Amino acid sequence: MNNTKQQVREFYDEIGWSHVGEGLYQNARYEDLRPVSREYIHKCHMRVKRYLAPQGNILLDAGSGPVQWPEYLTYSENYRYRLCADISITALKEARSRLGDRGMFVVADIANLPFKPEVFDGVVSMHTIHHLPLSEHRRAYFELIRVLKADKTAVVINGWHNPPLMRMAEPFIRLGRLLAGRSAKKKKNWSLEEDQAGTFVKKMTPRWLKKELKDAVTFKIYPWRSLSPRFMRWFVRPQFGGKAYLRLIFWLEERFPRFFGENGQYPLIVIKK
């Protein structure tokens, strides 16, 4: 395993999946956990289920982590098994505590999956490909497709690099920080977000994805969630109609999926085999 992957594995084993109280992992600090945002986040989590085969023998969760949010469990509720593959042993132990004998747990690298072709009825991979060195992103997509059965779908979620909608908000966030007396120093480093994620992250653009996968893969880009936690913490305030604002955003995402899928923070990429 190369240095980058080793570093990512150590991060998740020792920090990312350590418990920090109230049933939360350290990793949850990158999420907006406030009650005002709960409904929007729940509905976004549930979007994944729409595109997966509703039932089957085995669902592959590639880079499963501990299957940390309750909605995640619903994706495999009508499957016989959920196979969690992750390079972090801590992640898999935690996943086992949730799934019990409905789960299978394999230490594996998503760019080199140790499975035969066409064995899974569904594949999901959330927030994981971005932890790979750029040279392996394409290969990871192809691995997910290789192990998927014909006529089935894979769902991939990853953050975009520097998405226009979030980029437009950055000057206001920086101004807000200044006015609030906080340092404005945190200019976002969009390509290598080590400061945010705590470990190696390499995000890509819709243009890159289309160029890399076109001709070889049939896929569509939908919004998973347009708003980043950073944006939400600044602009979604319970006292200023935050919940209604998020309902409007969700409605807009449903109405204009292509626009929000490509310009918001997190796309939901549906791959059809």
Ligand X SMILES: C[S@@+](CC[C@H](N)C(=O)[O-])C[C@H]1O[C@@H](n2cnc3c(N)ncnc32)[C@H](O)[C@@H]1O
HEC string for 55-108: CEEEEEEECCCCCCCHHHHHCCCCEEEEEEEECCHHHHHHHHHHHHHHEEEEEC
Residues near ligand X (CB under 6 A), total: 19
The interface with ligand X within residues 118-147 (CB under 6 A) comprises: 126-128, 131-132
What count of residues does the chain have?
273
Which region, judged by CB under 6 A, interacts with ligand X, from 38-46, 61-69, 146-154, 170-178?
A: 61-69
Q: Rule CB under 6 A: say whether 265 interacts with ligand X.
A: no
Which region, judged by CB under 6 A, interacts with ligand X, from 83-91, 166-174, 209-217, 254-262?
A: 83-91
Cα distances (Å, whole numbers) of residue 272 to 144, 220, 243: 11, 9, 34
Q: Which residue has the tokens 């929000």?
A: 260
* Residue 1 vs 248, nearer CB to ligand X: 1
* Residue 69 vs 208, nearer CB to ligand X: 69
The interface with ligand X within residues 163-202 (CB under 6 A) comprises: none
Q: Rule CB under 6 A: say whether 109 interacts with ligand X.
A: yes
Member of 60, 95, 99, 110 binding ligand X (CB under 6 A) = 110
Residue window 8-27: x/- pattern of binding to ligand X, with contact defined by CB under 6 A: x---x---------------
Helix or strand holding residue 174 (H, E) = helix 164-179
Smallest separation, CB 191 to ligand X (Å): 17
Q: Rule CB under 6 A: say whether 267 interacts with ligand X.
A: no
- Of 224, 124, 91, 235, nearest to 176 by C-alpha is 235
Residue 77's CB is within 10 A of a number of other CB atoms, namely 12
Q: Rule CB under 6 A: say whether 217 interacts with ligand X.
A: no
| CA atoms of 247 and 232, how far apart (whole Å) | 13
| CA atoms of 162 and 262, how far apart (whole Å) | 11
Member of 65, 163, 261, 267 binding ligand X (CB under 6 A) = 65
* Residue 136 vs 262, nearer CB to ligand X: 136
Instruction: Name the closest residue to ligand X (Cβ).
Output: 65
Q: Which two tokens stand for residue 255?
A: 């109405």
Cβ distance 199 to 5 under 8 Å?
A: no
* Residue 93 vs 237, nearer CB to ligand X: 93
Q: Rule CB under 6 A: say whether 159 interacts with ligand X.
A: no
Residue 8's CB is within 10 A of a number of other CB atoms, namely 24
Q: Which residues bind ligand X (CB under 6 A)?
A: 5, 8, 12, 63-65, 68, 86-88, 91, 109-111, 126-128, 131-132
